């Protein structure tokens, strides 16, 4: 499963990339706002940190406007994936862009039928939002399981990009269900590293090593 980082914080992206934990990056208008930086500038910088797909979202709601913005975004770098919302205009834009060889991430997916439409429109990635689904009392992971089944039934090439990941269990379940990608905030990715028994084990080894009086080198 590929790991994308869901952030516009380039320090976090750089730090995680050093551990080989960044296969791509996703941003959205809220994350750009949080970064306090210029949208195009930050996307440009992220594209230099990772060669993987970098999702940059359009903010126009009509097809012509989306195409105009996509034109600017896709010129930033070859690894830009234009992010469009799951609306009829978003799907039209998806079809036009992917027919033209541009990666597209269709976002704000909350049903398996929506995911089916995105695949038919040629999406490179579909982003089902599991955390927001859980928030309203639905089972976000069931959505991933349904989309996996449908995509496998028809051999769709669209990658399932699990989004709105809030905790390590979302990551574990995504991997078990065979999701292609998950995107999580840096804090969640760092949570995956931690285990109390790892810390306790290091502590024990260090204490015994000190008692041995030895040095390496």
Task: Mark 7-46 with x for binding to ligand E4P (rule: CB under 6 A) and - for no binding.
Answer: -------------------x-x------------------
Contact characters 134-163, ligand E4P, x per CB under 6 A: -----------------------------x
Least separation in angstroms between residue 3's CB and ligand E4P is 13
Cα→Cα distances 170→29, 60, 127, 192, Å: 23, 31, 14, 11
Which residue, 24 or 207, has its beta carbon nearer to ligand E4P?
24
Q: Closest CB to ligand E4P among 102 and 127?
A: 127
Pick between residue 70 and residue 202 the one whose CB is nearest to ligand E4P. Answer: 70
What are the residues facing 128 on neighbouring strands?
A: 109
Q: Please give the structure tokens belonging to residue 116.
A: 């089916």
**Residue 124 touches ligand E4P, criterion: CB under 6 A:** no
Angle at 118 between CA 117 and CA 119, to 5 degrees: 90
Q: Which of 50, 93, 98, 164 binds ligand E4P (CB under 6 A)?
A: 164
Among 127, 173, 186, 188, binds ligand E4P (CB under 6 A): 127
Tell me the window of 45-53, 128-136, 148-156, 200-208 that interacts with ligand E4P (CB under 6 A): 128-136
Q: Is 200 a catalytic residue?
A: no
Please pick, among 83, 95, 194, 200, the residue that the annotation labels catalytic.
83
Q: Which two tokens stand for residue 71?
A: 């034109």
**Nearer of residues 92 and 132 to ligand E4P, judged by Cβ:** 132
Q: Taking the CA of residue 114 as centre, how many other CA atoms within 13 Å lie in the half-sphere pointing to its CB?
A: 19
**Closest distance of CB 84 from ligand E4P, Å:** 12
Give the residue numbers marked as catalytic: 83
**Chain residues in the site for ligand E4P (CB under 6 A):** 6, 26, 28, 107, 127, 129, 131-132, 163-164, 183
């Amino acid at each position: 499963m590929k790991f994308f980082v869901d952030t516009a914080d380039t320090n976090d992206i750089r730090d995680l990339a050093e551990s080989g934990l960044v296969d791509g990056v996703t941003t959205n208008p809220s994350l750009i706002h949080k970064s306090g930086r210029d949208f195009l500038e930050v996307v440009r910088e992220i594209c230099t940190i990772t060669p993987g797909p970098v999702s940059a979202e359009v903010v126009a709601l009509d097809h012509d406007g989306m195409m105009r913005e996509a034109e600017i975004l896709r010129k930033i770098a070859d690894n830009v994936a234009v992010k469009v919302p799951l609306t009829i205009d978003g799907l039209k834009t998806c079809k036009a862009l992917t027919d033209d060889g541009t990666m597209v991430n269709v976002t704000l997916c909350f049903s398996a039928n929506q995911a089916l439409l995105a695949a038919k429109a040629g999406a490179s990635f579909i982003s089902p939002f599991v955390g927001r689904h859980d928030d309203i009392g639905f089972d976000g992971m069931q959505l991933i399981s349904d989309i996996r089944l449908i995509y496998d039934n028809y051999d769709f090439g669209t990658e399932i990009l699990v989004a709105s990941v809030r905790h390590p269990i979302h990551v574990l379940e995504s991997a078990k269900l065979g999701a292609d990608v998950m995107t999580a905030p840096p804090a969640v990715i760092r949570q995956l590293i931690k285990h109390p028994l790892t810390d306790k084990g290091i502590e024990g080894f260090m204490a015994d090593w000190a008692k041995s009086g030895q040095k390496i080198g």
